[in-house]
Chain A
Amino acid sequence: MTGLSSKAEEEFSGLLPADASASAKLFFEQFQRAGLPGRRVESWHYSDLRTRLRVVPPVAHAPDEAARGVARHKLGASERLRLVTIDGFFAPELSDDFSGVAGIEISSVGEAEFFGGAADPMLDLNAAFSRGGFLLEIGVGARVEPVIEIVALAGAETDRSRFGRNLIRLGAGARAAILETRDEGFAGFGDSALFIELGEDSQLDYACRCRETAGVEVQTLNVMLAARAKLRAVSLLAQTPFLRRQFFVSLGGEGAELQLSGAAILGRNDHADLTMVVHHNAPACVSRETFKYVLGDHANGVFQGKIIVPPHAQKTDGKMLCRGLLLSDDAAMSAKPELEIFADDVACGHGAAVTKLDAQQLFYLETRGVPHIEAEKILIDAFAADVFDTLASEGLRDVLRQDLSDLLGEKEPAS
């Protein structure tokens, strides 16, 4: 409850179409009750959306031919199998034909059809506005070898509000590697949701690279793991004017395993907030959260992690690590790694550190002839890249490594 409603909240209210479904209206009311989260809401303290989102751009429409043209231009060619969304709408015309690939089923969805997930106002807002996402299903026991890529692009050439909402579901024992590339451009507002449901014994490698996120953007991931399912997920963030990427994970079956990692390479006035709530809802689950921040210029990095262990989740093994590397005096890092534990037979821990580059290591590299700037890049790369190692898929690791090295290549030398 944030008291008075903000101008943006009222604008949202005006944007909701009069013929919106009953459930959309219900979600919107829920959003309205909580209001746009800001610094007075504990879990949004470091990302004051209420202040950042002053004006709400018009809601994006389903893509027309012009929009598809814009997106197609940006898409280029690739060897990977791709699923494309434009302004949050699934675009089969630009996507590859998956009919030949065994075990994959792709369908369009209209209004929000899958619910659940966390109680979060931005997720409610997404449910109220979203239209036309996709459902990607990997069938029971299917092993999909090639990397599947989801590409989120912009079609509109002016500021828009986008509300993509997609679902990835793996049947029991299925395996897949999915790359998500979010490249919707700097314009507008984004409030997307991705649901991931992993059946028993299934395994998913998932990597997301977020570049050029919207002026103000919230990405919500709702993840559910059944017994013995494994998710290895990595996020690589860069060029994020104001991004909140939040994960709500439920380890719902005994023996499920989560590796949640990420690296944020930020400069300029970038703000990136990685927030995660990991609920160990069953005994003997394992989770590892590892996040690295490289912060230059006026960048602001935020890490919030919470491991929750209810009384019945005995034998929980949860460890969280967050490290920030500050390269500039104007950069800032805030970290809040929380443990909330109600079961006694657990081994949980977290570590957080904020440091600068190690002068001794730099010197050692330099005595080997590596110039200062190069040496810095090598150390930064090493600092960030080890989060990729949690992925089992070599293909995904290579993509991220290449991205990271491109990013560092562009980087201005740190002073």
Chain B
Amino acid sequence: MIEIENLHVAVAGKKILDGLTLKVEDGQVAAIMGPNGSGKSTLSYVVAGRADYEVLDGSIRLDGVDILEKSPAERAAMGLFLVFQYPLEIPGVATMTFLKAALNAQRKARGEAELPTIEFMKQVRAAAAKLNISQDMLKRPVNVGFSGGEKKRMEILQMALLEPRFSILDEMDSGLDIDALKTCAEGVNALRGDGRSFLVITHYQRLLNFIPPDVVHVMSRGKIVKSGGPELALALEASGYAEYAEGAAA
């Protein structure tokens, strides 16, 4: 379970999150929708622990533990995973090396033994096959020269391997063609259950058709301005954000 309370965050002296409160229960899929620049990516970065974000007030708790003082790696070891809106390219670092380092670091942090290489390779290959990721892609450096859609698939591959308890998907659907969207959504859905929860950031109902949410939140100007059931997303698709933008300005 993740609980965010009254979160105020500034970047480079500019206030971006303005008293945001949000709770995602175990096993829940929550969607966040909101206009460009409302602070959705900022929220995901702050939860993941990126530097340069000044938390002015509020708290973030993962399963009851305050994580604000924890490093990004410690948060990851607690089961937090972020699908980046713009996944990074890391020249020179082989994808396999990267995956192995991540998996073993997390296992180690949880007091589990390292995965034998053969077992590791098997798992990666299986996951890659499901996501239509070629062996050739696995041989290249992390995300280098990948298309936008390939990068997203690589993100989902990592998620499948690391089996996080809590995932934030920041515009997972952007850059994906319709088939890839389906494949990736299946990857996400395969992890559903077992008390895993998801925070799905998107602009489009289409993604939510594939990953049906339990709740939908609308975010505007750094806070949640409305929450509701799946029908809220459909309403937004029809009417846009105008109502909320004005409401926030008033």
Range class of the A interface residue count: 20 to 34
Chain B positions 42-73 with a Cβ under 8 Å from a chain A Cβ: 48-51, 71-73
Q: Closest A-chain residue to B103, C-beta based?
A: A369
**Which of B84, B102, B162 has the most C-beta atoms of chain A within 10 angstroms of its own C-beta?**
B102
Asked if B160 is at the interface (CB within 8 A of a chain A CB), the reply is no
B73 with A370: CB separation less than 8 A: yes
Q: How near does chain B come to A294, taking the closest CB pair, in angstroms?
A: 13
Chain B window 125-164, contacts with chain A (Cβ cutoff 8 Å), 1 for yes, 0 for no: 0000000000000000100000000000000001000100
Asked if B169 is at the interface (CB within 8 A of a chain A CB), the reply is no
Chain A positions 353-402 with a Cβ under 8 Å from a chain B Cβ: 359-361, 363-372, 374-375, 378-379, 381-383, 385-386
A360 to B45, CA, bound (A): 11
- Number of B residues near A (Cβ < 8 Å) is 31
Assuming the contacts A372-B71, A378-B98, A379-B90, asked whether A367 and B106 have C-beta atoms less than 8 A apart, the reply is: no
A1 to B76, CA, bound (A): 62
Assuming the contacts A359-B51, A361-B88, asked whether A368 and B102 have C-beta atoms less than 8 A apart, the reply is: yes
B84 with A364: CB separation less than 8 A: yes
A371 with B73: CB separation less than 8 A: yes
Q: Determine the chain A residues whose CB is within 8 A of the CB of B50 once the complex forms.
A: 363
Chain B window 71-86, contacts with chain A (Cβ cutoff 8 Å), 1 for yes, 0 for no: 1110111001110100
A367 with B92: CB separation less than 8 A: no
Asked if B115 is at the interface (CB within 8 A of a chain A CB), the reply is no
Assuming the contacts A378-B93, A379-B93, asked whether A365 and B98 have C-beta atoms less than 8 A apart, the reply is: yes
Our pick among B77, B84, B91 for the contact of A369 (Cβ within 8 Å) is B77
Mostly helix, strand, loop or mixed at chain A's interface?
A: helix
Asked if B109 is at the interface (CB within 8 A of a chain A CB), the reply is yes
Our pick among B82, B90, B93, B141 for the contact of A367 (Cβ within 8 Å) is B82
A382 with B141: CB separation less than 8 A: yes
Q: Closest A-chain residue to B99, C-beta based?
A: A368
Q: How near does chain B come to A195, taking the closest CB pair, in angstroms?
A: 33
Q: Determine the chain B residues whose CB is within 8 A of the CB of A371 once the complex forms.
A: 71, 73, 105, 109
Q: Determine the chain B residues whose CB is within 8 A of the CB of A379 once the complex forms.
A: 90, 93
Asked if B101 is at the interface (CB within 8 A of a chain A CB), the reply is yes
**Which of A364, A368, A379, A385 has the most C-beta atoms of chain B within 10 angstroms of its own C-beta?**
A368
Chain B positions 30-51 with a Cβ under 8 Å from a chain A Cβ: 48-51
Asked if B97 is at the interface (CB within 8 A of a chain A CB), the reply is yes
A361 to B72, CA, bound (A): 12
Assuming the contacts A365-B98, A367-B81, A378-B101, asked whether A372 and B90 have C-beta atoms less than 8 A apart, the reply is: no
B158 with A368: CB separation less than 8 A: yes
A365 to B73, CA, bound (A): 8
A369 to B105, CA, bound (A): 6
A321 to B101, CA, bound (A): 29
Q: Determine the chain B residues whose CB is within 8 A of the CB of A369 once the complex forms.
A: 73, 76-77, 102, 105-106, 109, 162
B162 with A368: CB separation less than 8 A: yes
With A367-B75, A370-B101 given, name 19 new contacts (CB 8 A). Answer: A360-B88, A364-B88, A365-B101, A365-B102, A366-B71, A366-B72, A366-B73, A367-B48, A367-B49, A368-B101, A369-B76, A371-B109, A374-B101, A374-B105, A378-B98, A378-B101, A381-B93, A382-B92, A386-B92
B residues with a Cβ closer than 8 A to A are 48-51, 71-73, 75-77, 80-82, 84, 87-88, 90-94, 97-98, 101-102, 105-106, 109, 141, 158, 162
Sample of 25 A–B contacts (CB below 8 Å): A363-B50, A363-B51, A364-B87, A364-B90, A365-B98, A366-B73, A367-B49, A367-B72, A367-B76, A367-B82, A368-B98, A368-B101, A368-B106, A369-B106, A370-B102, A371-B73, A372-B71, A372-B73, A374-B101, A374-B105, A375-B73, A378-B97, A382-B97, A385-B92, A386-B92
